[in-house]
């Protein structure tokens, strides 16, 4: 049996609304449930004290910190303490923000195998979240200079406004290069990692995310209305403007005999919430419900009632939301900018549309509304089967055990 540490600032329930947090919770549970000695080192923001808790055989170390920077500073000594009697067989960093930067100089003292799981790259997310081309060019410039130590040093001196981002990108890149193994959930990030971080493709192992929820086969869809879900952050990166364009299109179709129930989940400001409700206060083709951030359990319940999940993100390295929806038999309408779109066969287990293209989204959604009952149920069953056959706990365990023992080639 192996001694394993997972390090992540994000983890349920303190900071965990998102894919990174639930990946850590799931993979740690899978590995500990099969007899391995697993430690999760995470944060308890705003607390002055460290706490330790158990979830079954899984040991969670909550470090009392004020922010992510403090968490990074605490990690080296805490790992040293945990490795004092026996060093870890594996330390995996769920990388997004350089949490383990303090470890890498002496990482061999603490573990036999240092793995970096690249869930996302801060700078890449910012590039796709920029709606103006001038801002995109500026961010791409930072990516280019960040690859070279000398240029990064010069840029920090002459462009103080970008210093923080240059540093963060440089640290994330440094951690990835220090890893024995780099894993990615999809091939969506390869070009950026190769071109801007200088890491060859042969060092990147594509490995699946575990399914957050267990499979559930639907018996019915679209009973008296179409329940359409958006489960994500309300921002340009996640394509919320595209989802709003979809609601606008349906709002204008006064002769539309279908009734729509839009259910929206994710972080949103009170101002944006009120503006949206006011805009659609006379929505003659349906209704809108805004739930904001909810627990993972509430999302699982919601996915059983959503008929169609729209995932319009301009970029995501993967998307656990897609697995959540497909596992519960939702018909998914997915941007091809999402890494998890790799598992979608258009018209068979879901529908694809071109990233950032409003017209393409509307056309894909209309295809869904025209499906017969038999076609809906076929696609719903195929979606659930895709998750069941490719992302089960046992399959994930076999893959990650092979990675941790150096036997997996992708």
**Short-list 112, 71, 77, 109, CA closest to 91:** 112
Indicate the pTM of the whole model.
Answer: 0.89
Q: Indicate the CATH number of 3-209+393-404 among 3.40.50.980, 3.40.630.30, 3.40.50.1370, 3.40.50.2000.
A: 3.40.50.2000
C-alpha distances in Å from residue 143, one per residue of 137, 194, 206, 222, 249: 10, 12, 23, 46, 37
The half-sphere exposure of 264 on its side-chain side, counting CA atoms within 13 A, is 20
Q: What is the pLDDT along the chain (410 residues), one digit of tens a residue?
A: 899 999 998 887 554 456 788 888 899 999 999 999 999 999 887 788 899 988 888 899 999 998 888 999 999 999 999 999 999 999 999 877 788 999 998 999 999 999 999 888 888 888 899 989 899 988 888 888 877 777 877 877 777 777 888 888 888 888 999 999 999 998 888 888 888 888 888 888 998 889 888 999 998 888 788 999 999 988 899 999 999 999 999 888 766 667 899 999 988 888 888 999 888 888 887 889 999 888 878 889 999 999 999 999 999 888 889 999 999 999 999 999 999 999 999 999 999 999 999 999 999 999 999 999 999 999 999 999 999 999 999 999 999 999 998 877 66
Domain 226-390: CATH architecture, name and number where available: 3-Layer(aba) Sandwich (3.40)
Helix (H/G/I), strand (E/B), else coil: 17? coil
Same fold, 3-209+393-404 and 226-390: yes
CA–centroid distance for 279 within its chain: 30
Task: Report the Cα–Cα distance between both ends of the chain, in Å, rounded.
Answer: 23
Beta strands 204-206; 181-184: pairing state: parallel
Question: What is the domain partition of the chain in residue ranges?
Answer: 3-209+393-404, 226-390
C-alpha distances in Å from residue 57, one per residue of 14, 33, 82, 114, 201: 20, 7, 16, 23, 36
CA–centroid distance for 60 within its chain: 21
Residues in the chain, total: 410
């Amino acid at each position: 049996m192996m001694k394993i540490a997972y390090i992540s600032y994000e983890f349920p329930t303190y900071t965990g609304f998102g894919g990174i947090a639930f990946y850590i919770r799931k993979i740690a549970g899978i590995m500990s449930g099969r007899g391995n000695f697993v430690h999760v080192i995470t944060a308890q923001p705003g607390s002055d004290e460290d706490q330790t808790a158990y979830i079954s055989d899984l040991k969670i170390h909550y470090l009392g910190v004020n922010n992510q920077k403090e968490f990074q500073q605490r990690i080296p000594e805490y790992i040293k303490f945990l490795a004092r009697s026996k060093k870890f067989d594996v330390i995996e960093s769920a990388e997004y923000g350089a949490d383990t930067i303090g470890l890498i100089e002496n990482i061999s003292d603490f573990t036999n195998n240092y793995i970096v799981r690249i869930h996302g790259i801060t700078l890449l997310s910012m590039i796709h979240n920029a709606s103006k081309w001038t801002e995109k060019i500026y961010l791409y410039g930072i990516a280019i200079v960040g690859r070279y130590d000398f240029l990064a040093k010069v840029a920090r001196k002459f462009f103080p406004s970008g210093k923080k981002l240059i540093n963060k990108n440089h640290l994330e890149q440094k951690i990835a290069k220090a890893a024995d193994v780099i894993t990615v959930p999809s091939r969506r990030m390869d070009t950026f990692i190769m071109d801007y971080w200088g890491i060859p493709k042969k060092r990147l192992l594509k490995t699946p995310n575990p399914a957050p929820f267990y499979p559930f086969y639907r018996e019915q869809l679209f009973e008296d209305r179409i329940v359409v879900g958006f489960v994500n952050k309300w921002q340009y990166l996640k394509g919320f403007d595209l989802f709003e364009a979809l609601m606008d299109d349906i709002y204008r179709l006064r002769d539309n005999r279908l009734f729509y129930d839009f259910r929206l989940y994710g972080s949103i400001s009170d101002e944006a919430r009120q503006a949206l409700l006011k805009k659609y206060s006379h929505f003659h083709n349906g209704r809108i419900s805004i739930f904001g951030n909810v627990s993972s359990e509430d999302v699982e319940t919601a996915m059983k009632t959503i008929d169609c999940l729209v995932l319009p993100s301009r970029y995501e390295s993967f998307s656990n939301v897609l697995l959540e929806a497909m596992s519960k038999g939702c018909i998914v309408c997915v941007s091809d900018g999402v890494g998890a779109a790799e598992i979608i066969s258009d018209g068979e287990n879901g529908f694809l549309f071109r990233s950032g293209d409003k017209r393409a989204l509307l056309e894909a959604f209309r295809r869904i509304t025209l499906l017969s009952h038999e076609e809906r149920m076929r696609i719903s069953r195929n979606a659930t089967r895709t998750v069941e056959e490719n992302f089960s706990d046992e399959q994930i365990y076999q893959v990650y055990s092979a990675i941790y023992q150096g036997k997996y080639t992708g």
